[in-house]
Amino acid sequence: MIDVKFLVKNPDVVRENIKKKFQDGKLHLVDEAIDLYQKYCDCQQRADDLRSQRNSISKEIGILFKNGERDKANEMKKLVEANAQELESLAKQQSSLMDNLTKVMYAIPNIIDPSVPIGENDTFNVEKERFGEPVVPDFEVPYHADIMARLNGLDLDSAHRVAGNGFYYLMGDVARLHSAVISYARDFMIDKGFTYCVPPFMVRSEIVSGVMSFAEMDAMMYKIEGEDLYLIGTSEHSMIGKYIDQIIPEDQLPLTLTSYSPCFRKEKGAHGIEERGVYRIHQFEKQEMVVICQAEEADMWYEKMWRNTVELFRSLDIPVRTLECCSGDLADLKVKSLDVEAWSPRQKKYFEVGSCSYLGDAQSRRLKIRVKGKNGNYFAHTLNNTVVAPPRMLIAFLENNLKADGSVAIPEALRPYMGGKVEIR
């Protein structure tokens, strides 16, 4: 959510930003926001005038009573009562206007960074850099579900009977590999100086609406029936929500956190759920990183965060590349975003395994996360990034470490988490 005062002063900038995001249907919201804000300010001005009048009248009433002019004083008291009634009416109007203004402002996309490529959808995303040499082996690389099945590591049929499509049982060494990757990612981020956290896996609606757009919320979140609770789609939700209504001393910034959680997603509008594989699923686990900082440090942390993910994947012998997300591919709260994609030897192309996002002060503005600075309070800036998210990450791991005999090599960095094993068969 952008600052309404910025919108009022720079309506053309906001309109141009909406056009760059190919959301022309939202252009009318700029005028609506200006109109609602002006009406709110008019109410505020009238309320301030009434309070000033009330103070003057109250003083005059005191003088009249002191001089024994009781009848005149009682007449003046009627003015105070009328004044109070109008103030009560204005308060209700202001509350209604602010509710409507907030809804409109929530729907207006954040101002994107000048570096963001302009494009309508993800086909306009721009490759930034490659890390590691993508290799296509001289033997056939099976579908990832088949690799897992041959290792006695995947049972989709039982999962379908128990929960339906989009769920899975991981078994044996594949399940152990899944846990090993999560544990390795946790320690990797702790070694980078991040504070480890296990957050709540459910959050209230005010947190959900504070960290994401209504469209994202509808497409992703599972609601707990009869409760004001949602299952998290990523631990970023509860990690940012941790600081709702808080004022953070400036000398405590930056806050650098890495969190583990299961994640639950409806995947609405995702062209169905794969029945055979574990690429697009309703439930998975993830190690996340979150940074809360000052605006001037945000670009530096953005760079550090995605590079952490690249380093982790390269330590597991997985080639990756980075893509700058274009304007039309950015969620409404994002200032800019960069995807990390892993190489798939089977498909002979890269696929997404993580995303690093900078959201400016949009989330903190919604959740009222402020910083106590030397010259007053201001809104914090927030960033988030996927460290690793198996089982999708396992697809890249298994394909890139598969041997011709069907065994899977365990890179040295992961061996301590796999009981010293150098391969699984």
Q: Say if residue 395 is exposed, middle or buried (CB neighbours under 10 Å; 0-12, 13-18, 19+).
A: buried
pLDDT, position 391: 86
Q: Tell me: cis bond preceding 199? Omega within 30 of 0 counts.
A: no
The model's pLDDT over 371-413, given as tens digits with 9 standing for 90+, comes to: 999 999 999 999 999 999 998 899 999 999 999 999 999 999 9
Residues 260, 186 contacting (CB under 8 angstroms): yes
Residues 323, 300 contacting (CB under 8 angstroms): no
Between CA 155 and CA 159 the distance in angstroms is: 7
Between CA 58 and CA 83 the distance in angstroms is: 11
For range 153-159, the mean pLDDT: 94
Residue 270 has pLDDT above 70, yes or no: no
Band (pLDDT 50/70/90 cuts) for residue 56 is confident
pLDDT, position 268: 62
Residue 271 has pLDDT above 70, yes or no: no
For range 90-114, the mean pLDDT: 95
pLDDT, position 275: 54
Query: What fold does the segment set 122-424 form as a domain?
Result: BirA Bifunctional Protein; domain 2 (3.30.930)
Q: Which CATH number fits domain 4-107: 1.10.287.40, 3.60.15.10, 1.10.357.10, 1.10.40.50?
A: 1.10.287.40
Band (pLDDT 50/70/90 cuts) for residue 114 is very high
Between CA 327 and CA 335 the distance in angstroms is: 9
Band (pLDDT 50/70/90 cuts) for residue 87 is confident
Residue 249 has pLDDT above 80, yes or no: yes
The mean predicted confidence, pLDDT, of the chain is 93
pTM: predicted TM-score of the whole model, two decimal places = 0.90
pLDDT, position 340: 97
| % of residues, the chain, pLDDT over 70 | 97
Residue 272 has pLDDT above 60, yes or no: no
Domain boundaries, the chain: 4-107, 122-424
Between CA 285 and CA 263 the distance in angstroms is: 6
pLDDT, position 274: 53
DSSP codes joined into one string, 98-152: HHHHHHHHHHSPPPPPTTSPP-SSGGG-EEEEEES-----SS----HHHHHHHTT
- The C-alpha angle 120, 126, 129, rounded to 5 degrees, equals 160
The model's pLDDT over 184-213, given as tens digits with 9 standing for 90+, comes to: 999 999 999 999 999 999 999 999 999 988
